[in-house]
Amino acid sequence: MSSITLRLGKVDQGAIPTDKKGFFARFHAALAPALQSKLSFRDEPDGVWQPFSEVPGTTIKSLQQFLKDAGFLPKANIDGIFGYATQAGVRLFQEYIRTVEGDATIGTPDGVAGPNTIRFMEKWKAEKQGTPDFICKWGQASSQSGSPEFNKWISLLQKAKEQYAATPNPILQFSEKYTRPSDTLKIKDWNTSPDAVHLIGIRRNEGAASAKRQNDDLFVLLIKGMVFKFWGSTDPSQAMTGKRLDEPFLIEGQHVYKFGWHKVSDAQQVYRALRPANHGVLVFRDRNNDNSLTEFDIAKGLDPTPNKIINIHWSGKGELNHSAGCQVIAGQSYSNHEGKVINCTAYASPGYADLKNGKTRGAYNVFTDLVLSYSPEGVQTIAYTLARDESFLLADDIDENTLANWEGILKGNEGVV
């Protein structure tokens, strides 16, 4: 395919857009104006932005065509520009070889197609061309014929919608009565379609008051008939909120999120994340400074204005809760479509500093890449449903012991979730 190292910003000869500003406006509209003017791609390491850089021939198009045909980049625009989607497709290929194919010699899934990654792509073509296995399992998956576990989760969402529509719990009653536009949906508008991208956040141990909250919550991604599990936190850590003591807690319910950026005005640390789609989401505040969401706080009611910066973003390796109210996902480990726990410890960065030393955001990158690559054509949003752990007692086979077991296995990097 190529002996040249291909990475973000590389373009085929003659493929650099004539209107660079218009090209980047599609991706960077949510960034601060000063960053929109950079006309470069934001890469993984701290402060690194990649300008356009030509390579001979149609090397990038060949790479994109392979990723599309093999099922890692089904919506690929074969344009000869190694952009964010191509980077996601390369990382997913590398992660698939490492975990599903079981060959760790692919190295760190970093989204850079160097000679070793290209060698694996050529091997894939040589060994799988003309066989059903040429398209990866992730590419073959379908929301219409989802796995048994996928179908259980969709059924649970539908059951929850029906039950809460009939009898909203005290928290949901607040959002039901809220009259201003927000990205927190009324129960009747909850999306439970298997064709949508769903993220379910399970808030656990929220009564445990501490200025430094733990990453002890679970996230379930339902996408293209598959289930992936992550962990992190749905609760703010007061240690991250600075002088403000009334930290925000995202309200239980379903919210609409879209692909965007976190730290939108910071050229050194900005990175891809999910943001409220339009108006902001509804939150309660810690009104009595006990560092937890209690009945006292709920009784005080919602913030009057939707919050536009409750993002879904990275929580480092998972050693610390990096949330000031956002929903955060740890990079240390996750469970894949087969329920196998995948250990990313060797290359998962604890924080920003190690990103320049060859480490990555680990499992968090898997989450964002799956969403970017496998969201349905034309769909720019996901349905994020946040629930307390007791809400999932609606499912016969999910209780607190189950959730605690999942958390322990995910963090211990062994077993099946």
Q: Could you tell me if 129 and 158 lie in one domain?
A: no
Give a yes or no: residue 236 inside a domain.
Answer: yes
Q: Could you tell me if 294 and 153 lie in one domain?
A: yes
Give a yes or no: residue 77 inside a domain.
Answer: yes
Give a yes or no: residue 417 inside a domain.
Answer: no
Asked whether residue 415 carries a pLDDT value surpassing 90, the answer given is: no
Asked whether residue 1 carries a pLDDT value surpassing 60, the answer given is: no
Among 106, 140, 174, give the residue marking a domain's end.
140
Q: What is the pLDDT of residues 132-176, one digit of tens each?
A: 999 999 999 999 999 999 999 999 999 999 999 999 989 999 999
Asked whether residue 357 carries a pLDDT value surpassing 60, the answer given is: yes
pLDDT of residue 240: 73
Q: Could you tell me if 108 and 150 lie in one domain?
A: no
Give the domain extent around 327: 143-412
Q: Could you tell me if 198 and 100 lie in one domain?
A: no
From CA 371, how far away is CA 260, in angstroms rounded? 12
Give a yes or no: residue 18 inside a domain.
Answer: yes
Asked whether residue 413 carries a pLDDT value surpassing 90, the answer given is: no
Q: Could you tell me if 357 and 241 lie in one domain?
A: yes
What is the rounded average pLDDT of the residues 383-397? Answer: 77
Q: What is the pLDDT of residues 82-114, one digit of tens each?
A: 999 999 999 999 999 999 999 999 999 999 999
Name residue 395's amino acid.
A
Is 358:108 a contact under the CB 8 Å cutoff?
A: yes
Asked whether residue 239 carries a pLDDT value surpassing 90, the answer given is: no
Q: Could you tell me if 239 and 313 lie in one domain?
A: yes
Q: Could you tell me if 284 and 361 lie in one domain?
A: yes
Contacts 24+ apart (CB under 8 A), 14-20: 14/54, 15/54, 15/60, 15/79, 15/80, 15/81, 16/52, 16/54, 17/81, 20/52
The CATH number linked to 79 is 1.10.101.10
How distant is the alpha carbon of residue 217 from its chain centre? 15
Averaged confidence pLDDT in the chain: 92
What is the rounded average pLDDT of the residues 277-290? Answer: 94
Q: Could you tell me if 386 and 328 lie in one domain?
A: yes
What is the rounded average pLDDT of the residues 261-278? Answer: 97
Q: Could you tell me if 239 and 311 lie in one domain?
A: yes
Beta bridge partners of 270: none
Please report which confidence band the pLDDT of residue 416 belongs to, taking 50, 70 and 90 as the band edges.
low
Q: Could you tell me if 105 and 160 lie in one domain?
A: no
What is the rounded average pLDDT of the residues 293-303? Answer: 93
Q: Could you tell me if 194 and 96 lie in one domain?
A: no
What is the rounded average pLDDT of the residues 304-308? Answer: 96
Asked whether residue 278 carries a pLDDT value surpassing 90, the answer given is: yes
Beta strands 312-314 and 327-329, pairing class = parallel
Please report which confidence band the pLDDT of residue 220 belongs to, taking 50, 70 and 90 as the band edges.
very high
Indicate the number of domains in the chain.
2
Asked whether residue 211 carries a pLDDT value surpassing 60, the answer given is: no
Please report which confidence band the pLDDT of residue 283 belongs to, taking 50, 70 and 90 as the band edges.
very high
Among 125, 140, 155, give the residue marking a domain's end.
140
Asked whether residue 243 carries a pLDDT value surpassing 80, the answer given is: no
**196 Rama class: left (phi>0) / alpha (psi -120 to 50) / beta:** beta
Give a yes or no: residue 248 inside a domain.
Answer: yes
Q: Could you tell me if 149 and 123 lie in one domain?
A: no
Asked whether residue 399 carries a pLDDT value surpassing 60, the answer given is: yes
Please report which confidence band the pLDDT of residue 407 belongs to, taking 50, 70 and 90 as the band edges.
confident
| SS3 label, residue 275 | strand
- pTM higher than 0.85: yes
Give a yes or no: residue 2 inside a domain.
Answer: no
Beta bridge partners of 341: 335
Is 76:8 a contact under the CB 8 Å cutoff?
A: no
